[in-house]
Amino acid sequence: MNAVELGLALLLVVAMGLCVLAFRSPRAVADDLLRHRAAQREFYRQRQTELQADFDMGLIDEQQQRELNAELDRQLLEENAELSPPPAQRRSVLLWASVAALPLLSLLVYDQLGYRLDLKLLAVQRQLFSGERPSEEGLQRFEALVEDILQRRPETTELLVTMAAIRRQQGDYRGAVDYYQRLSQLYPQDADALAQLAQARYLAAERRLDGETRELLQRALAINPDQATALGVLGINAFAVGDYLLALKHWQRLLGGLDARSGEAMVIASGVNEAKRRAIEEGKLRGLMVNVALDAALGDKPEGVLFVVARATDGNPMPVAALRQPVSKEGEIFPLRLFLTDGDVIRQGKRLEDFAALSLSAHISRSGAAVRRTGDWVSAPLRLSTAENEISLLIDSEFAVGGEAK
């Protein structure tokens, strides 16, 4: 017997004990009955005394006294009849019937709701993940058990999420839609559930965004404007139809909420850069091309985040604009070509053309922080006019303690 079954057995024993206590011994019941009847007799005597006093004072006549006494006698007889104890044999039958029915009813409900299947599911999970790779047969047994449980308990959230994830991994997006649909019905105000349903619908429709899917994405963003899945899908769709400015709007918002060193951030940052390039080529966006190269003398590039920072030449230390691009040892090939646009401007209400000249620098932060730290790779700052369209930066030194490059 495992811990769950043992716990259930103990709870059942406690419940049966409470059942037995509910049917107290005949002696205890008889004692209660005697006390109640004594209280009734005392009330009867007091009421008779009050009626006699009323008659003596002339408040009631003899006829009224006889009628009220008769009514008092009738009430006493009725109450005594209601309090008659059931036969001991009947009580005994009720007691044992209740005690026997409780475990049977508990087992019936336990099986009907599929909780016994939960234990089987747990055993199958342990078998599946005991080896390096789950077997196909094991996965099929797992899915069959999950489906059986969901038939009995259709609102089991964790199993709906599990099956949706399995269908996605199998590439069965239509199958995943069904589970996400059920989740969204259970949690209509959950932005994640709505966005995941929309994404599954989008992928099942071969990356076509219909009206219902778009409405789901808009609902998700109305609840959570930074919902990552919704922003990603809308950005991908906008890019696919050639609306690069809209793709930038969604992807840049998404990028701001991601860990700068995550794999997802790398993908989104590359998409942002490509959308900028295409929008600039179409003349829909003005931007500065920034070529960033590494000095081979520094060795193999570290993992971290590349920052390109633009500052005004008026002495204000606050950056005007900034780019960030995750880098990995096996990933980006330098020199990188990045694009600095008005969308990267940090100062509210400003554009790049509002500054006559800018000073640009680049550094690779090993920690992912924008502030330079010892060991980061840095470039020398270069000044340029905002009328220029291109600049090249060379990262050729390592930042040292005290702010000196070495």
pLDDT in tens, the chain (406 residues): 444 454 455 555 555 565 555 555 555 555 666 676 677 777 777 877 877 777 777 777 778 778 777 877 777 677 666 555 555 445 555 555 555 555 555 555 545 544 555 556 565 556 556 555 656 666 777 777 777 777 777 787 888 888 888 889 889 999 999 999 999 999 999 999 999 999 999 999 999 999 999 999 999 999 999 999 999 999 999 999 999 999 999 999 999 888 887 888 889 999 999 999 999 999 999 889 999 999 999 988 888 899 999 999 888 888 999 999 888 877 778 899 999 999 899 988 899 888 889 999 999 999 888 888 999 999 999 998 877 889 999 999 998 865 544 4
Cβ atoms 219, 192 nearer than 8 A? no
Determine which helix (DSSP H) or strand (DSSP E) holds 132, and give its type and residue range.
Answer: none
Q: What is the pLDDT of residue 94?
A: 55
Whether residue 335 is preceded by a cis peptide bond, meaning omega within 30 degrees of 0, is yes
Distance CA 372, CA 387 (A): 28
Alpha helix (H) residue ranges in 132-190: 136-152, 157-169, 173-186
- From CA 226, how far away is CA 255, in angstroms rounded? 10
pLDDT value of residue 118: 57
Q: What is the spatial distance between Cα 244 and Cα 275, in angstroms, rounded to a whole number?
A: 5
pLDDT at 406: 44
- First-to-last alpha carbon distance for the chain, in angstroms, is 68
Please work out, in degrees rounded to the nearest 5, the angle formed at the alpha carbon of residue 55 by the alpha carbons of 52 and 58: 155
Q: Running DSSP on this structure, what letter comes out for residue 19?
A: H
Quick check: pTM over 0.75?
no
Q: How far apart are CA 129 and CA 111, in angstroms?
A: 26
Distance CA(382)–CA(184), nearest Å, equals 52
Residue 377's nearest CA partner among 322, 341, 319, 327 is 327
What residue has token string 């009849």? 81
Cross-strand bridge partners of residue 361: 309
The predicted pLDDT at position 62 comes to 79
Q: Where are the alpha helices (DSSP H) in 257-362?
A: 263-281
What distance in Å separates the CA atoms of residue 389 and residue 386, rounded to the nearest whole number? 8
